[in-house]
Amino acid sequence: MLQNILNNGIWGTITTLITGAIGGQLLNHLIISRKEKIKSEKEFKSRFYIPLYGAIKTYFESHTAFRRGDLTHVGKTPSIQREKIVEFIENNLQYTNTEVAEAFYKKKYSNIYDDNWGFREITLDNDLFCNILKSYYLISSKKKRFELKKDILLFQIWQLCFKLDLPSPDDALSVKYHFNLDKLAHMYEIDELDEIINLNGEHERQKFFLKTLLTQITDEEDQNYVISKFFEGVDIWEDSQSISEQSLVHEIMNGNDVGYLTILNRTLLRDLILEEMTHSYFYEQKYKYSFRKTDFYKLPREKKLALEYLVEQGMAIKENNLNNRIKFRPSTKGIEQYESKFI
């Protein structure tokens, strides 16, 4: 009898130990899995990191509160904080999102802060800027990856709108390259993105498809208001039309912003870059198109787009060097096109 009790006690102890060990392993596995998931989420969200997040949050809250007629927050963003935002982004452009940095820079000289009441003049650009910040704010506050999809897509689209004013036929390739719309279209299975990219010269249809897309991915009244206003009388920059060909290329090669180029000037720029690249490759025996990766991303936007276009058309080859460099060199097709000018 006593022996049975002892045996049962031993087996009970063994069973408890085994169960505890298995339970401990499962708990440990769950803890590790959760840590890995949290790490993965942090890495994913780190791509959308905002410098001086608290100051931007205050900016956003003040702006939206003002638009709702709530004056509680107005004027509470200290001017020194606003100056810190501008100063930080001016000094650290390479470390932050290009479009947000550019948005802040453009607003530095606007009259958003023209008196103590803060946002006295609300313009279309400011509405668009507010939407960029809002999407950024939502991305940063979301906890789960699947919740981010809509906000990330919205952020990309608002960037597109802010950058290009309107998706003109001249800027279709720029839109495609700069915002990686092929990838977005695949990721979100939105056919309208391909429609926007592939329409050649059909400006009204491009506007229609972008407007449909924007309406499709947002159901917030204020954003729909911005969408409707966005398509009313907004002009595209064409400052570069008055710039001579030589001046245009000279300005771009020296890192100066010349505005958004017309299709004529884009084609000219690509031809001249190909010609300079090929001439350098054959006659000077040195690369003018070899960059450190960090320097490449600082190049004038139009020059980067032109180089990528040459690669896309098969006229140049892009090489990612192990020494942290990016090289562009003419392809056989590019060489033939270059030489054909002299035959």
Residue 323 lies in a domain: yes
Q: Look at residue 216 and tell me if it is in a domain.
A: no
The domain that contains 332 carries what CATH number? 1.10.10
Q: Does the residue 119 lie in any domain?
A: no
Angle at the Cα of 298 from the Cα atoms of 113 and 328, rounded to 5 degrees: 155
Establish if 245 belongs to a structural domain: yes
The reply to whether 252 falls in a domain is yes
Give residue 319's pLDDT band: very low, low, confident or very high (50, 70, 90).
Answer: confident
Tell me the C-alpha distance between 200 and 168, whole Å. 9
C-beta of residue 138 within 8 angstroms of C-beta of residue 48: no
Q: How many domains does the chain have?
A: 1
Residue 297 lies in a domain: yes
- Print the domain residue range for 278: 240-340
pLDDT in tens, 138-192: 555 555 555 555 555 555 555 544 444 433 333 333 434 434 444 444 444 444 4
- Kind of pairing, strands 325-330 and 316-321? antiparallel
Is 161 contained in some domain? Answer: no
pLDDT 10s digits, 221-255: 333 333 333 333 333 223 333 334 444 444 444 44
The set of residues, in sequence order, having a beta carbon less than 8 Å from that of 178 and lying 6+ positions away, is: 160, 163, 301, 305
pLDDT at 298: 74
Look at phi and psi of residue 232 and say left if phi exceeds 0, alpha if psi is from -120 to 50, else beta: beta
Of all residues in the chain, the percent with pLDDT exceeding 70 is 14
18: in domain: no
Question: pLDDT value at position 289?
Answer: 73
Percent of the chain with pLDDT over 90: 0
Give me the DSSP letters along 159-186: HHHHHHSS--GGGHHHHHHHHTHHHHHH
